[in-house]
């Protein structure tokens, strides 16, 4: 399906950035940066100025006090994480921090007999993970589903948990948390998801709940977890514990992973976290990450946000999708090279299995789409052989291809479990709640992504029809169809090393700060050929109306060779970057899309 190109309006002529490539003002304007001061902060974000104090969270003090008291008293703390990369990395951040503080409490001789600061001396103790009072729990994606369940609350309470810290879940678990409180278990919720009219009876560390004073609202759960970790470390130091000075900054390698994989906007504080987090990721000493880099063929020192999104994240997520997310958590927490290598090998095998299974599901989905009505404004696909752990990938691919919301549903046991993907114009989580009224057993998510469950076979087609009707009533034809945002018209003559260096300054790229894209029009094709395995890619050489010649590489466009025959005239949308081969560097123009001029 041909994409509709949307070229951004030209920025005001009086918006000038000194000593910059001519494209810079337009690129900044497109990203809402409209003053020289904002531009300076964007290009050179300061960690000290760009990172907000975690104590600005309204309930941060209560969370820190409860957790440090539990560590002091030797109470059992369970970090209850979601099974995706956000939940896994967020859990790793908190488990690592809690155990560090716990170890320092014990080795400096402290016990549960509290003095006025909350601690009292005792015989020093060397901590191991087995003797720690901090443990983890991640539910099985298919068997248990998302978030706290009554069964898991009962199990954890029976096993002696006194505090549960939910990570990337919990804000919608009102009844389950009430049951935990009834059983004498306190709960700290570390989350960023949508919430209902009633909030749970817990300590809530969530940037968007009513009355919350924390200024940045778009943190991933791992970012929220890092805020809690930083606050705990600061308080522990103030009480005399010798926590290493850079301890919390070394946790930013984990923050950099899920800030990309959870597709939160890479603006404001997230941009600062990601930029500095990538630096830490490239220097990370975690055995688990080192093993993961090796399996993925990544070179330390060169890892960027794209590597996180397409190599690291999928491997972490493969654990929960294909077996159990605890494998990925164990990898990130692993302390020896031997353990890390073994777990990374298992994740690599699971990721390959995930790729094969997803490909097969997509073949079935494509057949369903051939038979689908052309007038629908939302696709709902389901099959009783589909793995619920993979339906989100199918929904995402369908949504991207057709430029409309999509929902995919699979079956586990007697339950149908689905995922939805959408765009800012259509809140898929709210839509699912409307269409699923009286049918759903649970649901949750964001504006652009959601998860849900249905308990009855007969409810699936009813839910699907309701959802299609909801989209039909709320979306117009102008809202639909695949689109491609283009930053600016650019004469081919302006493609230069200066432009490449300028574009690099805009990184890291992601949601809210897409890699800059340019359009050059009326290019004359002087060479075209397919390259790569099975001719999957297209290599073009084109000349501008003013005579400038430029090479282009169009990945995965090999089937479109006949659309770019020698002598034809094309308009091309592309990214600029660097191609390095055998020690030689050249400007690379990567085609995003093209069509006849």
- The overall average pLDDT reported for the chain is 93
User: Which tens digits make up the pLDDT trace of 281-322?
Assistant: 999 999 999 999 999 999 999 999 999 999 999 999 999 999
Q: How confident is the model at residue 581 (pLDDT cuts 50, 70, 90)?
A: confident
Helices 313-322, 287-296: axis angle to 10 degrees equals 100
Calpha distance 123→108 (Å, rounded):
8
What is the model's pLDDT at position 375? 83
Q: Tell me if the pTM is above 0.85.
A: yes
What is the model's pLDDT at position 129? 55
What is the model's pLDDT at position 304? 97
Window from 72-86, 102-116, 132-146, 405-419 with minimum mean pLDDT: 102-116
Collect all residues with Cβ–Cβ distance below 8 Å to 473 and sequence separation of at least 6: none
β-strands 440-445, 415-421: how paired?
unpaired
**Which residue ranges form the domains of the chain, and what is each CATH number?**
4-43+484-596 (2.40.50.460), 54-251 (3.90.1640.30), 372-479 (3.10.310.30)
Q: How confident is the model at residue 121 (pLDDT cuts 50, 70, 90)?
A: very low
How many CA atoms does the CB half-sphere of 35 hold within 13 Å?
3
User: Which tens digits make up the pLDDT trace of 457-470?
Assistant: 999 999 999 999 99
Stretch 494-516: mean pLDDT: 95
| 142 vs 231, more confident | 231
Stretch 452-456: mean pLDDT: 92
Q: How confident is the model at residue 114 (pLDDT cuts 50, 70, 90)?
A: very low
Q: How confident is the model at residue 109 (pLDDT cuts 50, 70, 90)?
A: low
What is the model's pLDDT at position 351? 97
For the chain, the distance separating the N- and C-terminal CA atoms, rounded to the nearest angstrom, is 18
Stretch 422-435: mean pLDDT: 94
What is the model's pLDDT at position 130? 62
What is the model's pLDDT at position 372? 83
| 463 vs 16, more confident | 463
pLDDT over 90 for what percent of the chain? 86
Calpha distance 523→534 (Å, rounded):
27
Sheet holding 161-167, edge to edge: 134-137, 76-81, 161-167, 186-190, 203-205
Stretch 173-194: mean pLDDT: 97
Helices 337-371, 287-296: axis angle to 10 degrees equals 50
What is the model's pLDDT at position 12? 93
Phi, psi values for residue 568, rounded to 5°: -80, 165
Q: Is the pLDDT of residue 433 over 80?
A: yes
* 408 bridge partner residues: 381, 419
User: Do the beta carbons of residue 328 and residue 89 sit within 8 Å?
Assistant: no
What is the model's pLDDT at position 88? 98
Window from 145-149, 441-445, 524-528 with minimum mean pLDDT: 441-445
User: Which tens digits make up the pLDDT trace of 129-183?
Assistant: 567 999 999 999 988 988 999 999 999 999 999 999 999 999 999 999 999 999 9
Judged by DSSP in three states, 558 sits in helix
Name the maximum alpha-carbon separation found in the chain. 84
User: Which tens digits make up the pLDDT trace of 245-289?
Assistant: 899 999 999 999 999 999 999 999 999 999 999 999 999 999 999
From the CA atom positions of the chain, what is the Rg in Å?
26
């Amino acid at each position: 399906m041909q994409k509709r190109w949307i070229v951004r309006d030209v920025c005001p002529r009086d918006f000038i950035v000194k000593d910059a490539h001519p494209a810079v003002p337009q690129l900044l304007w497109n990203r809402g940066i409209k003053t020289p001061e904002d531009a300076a902060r964007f290009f050179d974000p300061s960690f000290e100025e760009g990172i907000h104090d975690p104590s600005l969270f309204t309930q941060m003090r209560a969370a820190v006090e409860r957790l440090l008291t539990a560590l002091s008293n030797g109470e059992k703390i369970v970090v209850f994480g979601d099974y995706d990369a956000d939940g896994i990395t967020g859990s790793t951040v908190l488990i690592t921090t809690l155990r560090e503080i716990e170890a320092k409490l014990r080795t400096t001789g402290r016990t549960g007999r509290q003095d006025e600061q909350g601690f009292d001396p005792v015989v020093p103790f060397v901590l191991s993970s087995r003797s720690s009072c901090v443990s983890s729990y991640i539910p099985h994606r298919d068997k248990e589903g998302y978030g706290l369940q009554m069964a898991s609350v009962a199990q954890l309470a029976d096993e002696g948990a006194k505090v549960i810290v939910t990570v990337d879940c919990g804000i919608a678990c009102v009844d389950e948390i009430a049951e935990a409180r009834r059983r004498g278990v306190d709960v700290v919720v570390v989350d960023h998801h949508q919430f209902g009219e009633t909030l749970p009876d817990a300590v809530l560390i969530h940037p968007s709940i009513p009355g919350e004073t924390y200024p940045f609202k778009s943190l991933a759960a791992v970012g929220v977890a890092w805020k809690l970790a930083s606050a705990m470390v600061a308080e522990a130091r103030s009480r005399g514990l010798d926590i290493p000075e850079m301890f919390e900054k070394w946790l930013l390698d984990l923050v950099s992973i899920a800030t990309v994989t959870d597709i939160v906007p890479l603006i404001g504080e997230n941009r600062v976290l990601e930029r500095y987090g990538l630096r830490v990721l490239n220097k990370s000493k975690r055995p688990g990450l080192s093993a993961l880099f090796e399996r993925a063929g990544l070179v330390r020192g060169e890892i960027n946000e794209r590597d996180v999104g397409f190599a690291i994240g999928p491997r972490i997520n493969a654990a929960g999708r294909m077996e159990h997310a605890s494998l990925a958590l164990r990898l990130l927490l692993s302390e020896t090279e031997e353990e890390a290598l073994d777990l990374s090998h298992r994740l690599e095998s699971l990721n390959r299995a995930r790729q094969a299974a997803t490909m097969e599901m997509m073949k079935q989905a494509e057949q369903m789409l051939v038979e689908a009505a052309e007038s629908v404004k939302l696709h709902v696909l389901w099959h009783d052989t589909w793995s619920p752990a993979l339906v989100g990938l199918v929904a995402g691919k369908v949504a991207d291809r057709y430029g409309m919301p999509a929902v995919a549903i699979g079956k586990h046991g007697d339950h149908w479990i689905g995922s939805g993907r959408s765009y800012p114009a259509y809140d898929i989580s709210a839509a699912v709640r409307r269409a699923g009224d009286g049918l759903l057993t649970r649901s949750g998510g964001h504006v652009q992504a959601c998860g849900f469950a249905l308990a009855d076979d007969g409810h699936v087609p009813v839910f699907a029809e309701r959802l299609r009707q909801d989209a039909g009533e709320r979306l117009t034809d102008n809202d639909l169809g695949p689109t491609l945002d283009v930053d600016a018209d650019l004469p081919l003559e302006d493609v230069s090393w200066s432009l490449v260096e300028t574009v690099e300054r805009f990184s890291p790229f992601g949601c809210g700060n897409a890699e800059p894209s340019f359009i050059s029009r009326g290019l004359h094709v002087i060479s075209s050929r397919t390259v790569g395995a099975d001719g999957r890619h297209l290599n073009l050489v084109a000349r501008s109306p003013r005579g400038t010649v430029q090479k282009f590489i169009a990945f995965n466009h090999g089937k479109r060779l006949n659309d770019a025959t020698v002598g034809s005239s094309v308009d091309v949308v592309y990214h600029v970057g660097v191609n390095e081969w055998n020690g030689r560097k050249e400007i690379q123009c990567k085609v995003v899309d093209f069509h006849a001029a």
